[in-house]
Amino acid sequence: MANRSLVAIEEYSKEKILYMLEMAKEFEKCPNRKILDSKIVATLFFEPSTRTRLSFETAANRLGAKVIGFTDPKVTSSTKGESLKDTIMMVSNYADVIVMRHYLEGAARYASEIAPVPIVNAGDGANQHPSQTMLDLYSIYKTQGTLENLNIYMVGDLKYGRTVHSLLMAMRHFNPTFHFVAPDELKMPDEYKLYCRKNGIRYEEHRDFNEDVIADADIIYMTRVQRERFTDLMEYEKVKNVYILHEQMLHKTKETMKILHPLPRVNEIAYDVDNSPKAYYFQQAKNGLYARQAIICDVLGITLDEVRNNK
């Protein structure tokens, strides 16, 4: 069997993305399907991430699978010097699929090359986190009815924010127009702007963040502006309150516009936004469940048709 692991979102073609979104849609219609009755899903969290782990484990449980694994690296032998390879080979003896999060970059890629079972990357350091991108895509698709020709505003930390980089690359198939709204210190890196130009993706950069800048948005994707990212703390003090979305900034925006955020938020979305019908970040997190059900099924070789025929 070909290795069906999901390590990086770039492995998905346009067709594959759309196919995965269809599968997620099936799971949203009916999340409880005992498709994985006899399967065991391992969740190996070498670095804690409660949100991601709960989402994957709920996905596995709703599919009828049993879940094994660990979350605290202190209780496993990885701190006793056991190599990643040895841990992966050991767990492969027990589980049908391994969902792993690791603090080292490239860990999931390496695991996918040595493991006899498929690997799902649930985040490897600052590198890849494809299930986050799939839930972002699903949220956009669901709220806009399409992924094509959208105005997507990315706001906040565009330099270190891996979710915005992955989303940017995944959207290349769908003719988007990006607006990058960030302070100078956290601007979108040149390599991604170059990527946009190479792929014929339009983008504009903004330093200001106000109701006029965002008036045309279909999606506003907010990210955290963290103090520790700044080399110049004066600069942080200057911008820390600039990239905050308030309810009164939404009046000029489209009816159908939705606000996304990978969560957890700190203060970048004011609480008065929560009651707006344009706030979508809590539903977005819920969409992660359906996206992850689809990912687990796909790496195990279960097709969309099989999902549809199993109610």
Partner 1 sequence: MQENKKELQVAAIENGTVIDHIPADKLFSVVSILKLAEMPNNITIGFNLDSKKIGKKGIIKIAGKYFEEEELDKISLVAPHAHINIIKDYKIIEKKSINMPHELVGIVKCNNPKCITNNEPMKTRFTLIDEEQGILKCHYCEKEQNKEDVVIL
Which residues are part of the catalytic machinery? 51-52, 80, 101, 129
Q: In the 8-state DSSP scheme, what is residue 286?
A: H
Binders of partner 1: how many residues, by CB under 8 A?
A: 18
Closest contact distance (angstroms) between CB of 83 and partner 1 is 6
Per CB under 8 A, which of residues 126..165 are in contact with partner 1? 126-128
Among 20, 107, 115, 137, binds partner 1 (CB under 8 A): 107
104 forms part of the interface with partner 1 (CB under 8 A):
yes
Among 42, 44, 84, 170, binds partner 1 (CB under 8 A): 84
Answer whether 172's CB lies under 8 Å from 19's CB: no
**Does residue 151 sit in helix, strand or coil?**
strand
Helix (H) or strand (E) holding 124: strand 119-124
Q: Which among 125-133, 150-158, 166-174, 216-224 is the span making contact with partner 1, rule CB under 8 A? A: 125-133
112 forms part of the interface with partner 1 (CB under 8 A):
no
Closest contact distance (angstroms) between CB of 277 and partner 1 is 38
Taking CA atoms, 228 is separated from 100, 111, 160, 221, 269, in Å, by 27, 31, 11, 21, 19
CA triple 193-195-196, angle to 5 deg:
65
Token readout for 89 is: 């080979």
Among 73, 125, 160, 252, binds partner 1 (CB under 8 A): 125
Nearer to partner 1, 120 or 294 (CB): 120
105 forms part of the interface with partner 1 (CB under 8 A):
yes
Nearest-angstrom CA–CA distance, 193 and 202: 9
44 forms part of the interface with partner 1 (CB under 8 A):
no
Nearer to partner 1, 5 or 287 (CB): 5
Helix (H) or strand (E) holding 205: strand 202-206
Closest contact distance (angstroms) between CB of 8 and partner 1 is 8
Nearer to partner 1, 82 or 272 (CB): 82
Nearer to partner 1, 78 or 175 (CB): 78
Nearest-angstrom CA–CA distance, 40 and 68: 7
Per CB under 8 A, which of residues 178..207 are in contact with partner 1? 191
Per CB under 8 A, which of residues 238..297 are in contact with partner 1? none
73 forms part of the interface with partner 1 (CB under 8 A):
no
Nearest-angstrom CA–CA distance, 174 and 177: 10
**CB-CB neighbours of 281 under 10 Å:** 20
Closest contact distance (angstroms) between CB of 107 and partner 1 is 5
Among 25, 109, 193, 252, binds partner 1 (CB under 8 A): 109
Nearer to partner 1, 191 or 212 (CB): 191
* Phi, psi of 39, rounded to the nearest 5 degrees: -100, 155
Among 54, 72, 90, 103, binds partner 1 (CB under 8 A): 103
Closest contact distance (angstroms) between CB of 85 and partner 1 is 7
Closest contact distance (angstroms) between CB of 102 and partner 1 is 8
Buried b (16+ CB within 10 A) or exposed e, 216-227: ebbbbbbbbbbe
CA triple 200-201-202, angle to 5 deg:
115
List CB contacts of 309: < 8 A, sequence separation 6 or more. Answer: none
> How many Å separate Cα 102 from the centre of its chain?
15
Contact set with partner 1 (CB under 8 A): 8, 83-85, 102-107, 109-110, 124-128, 191
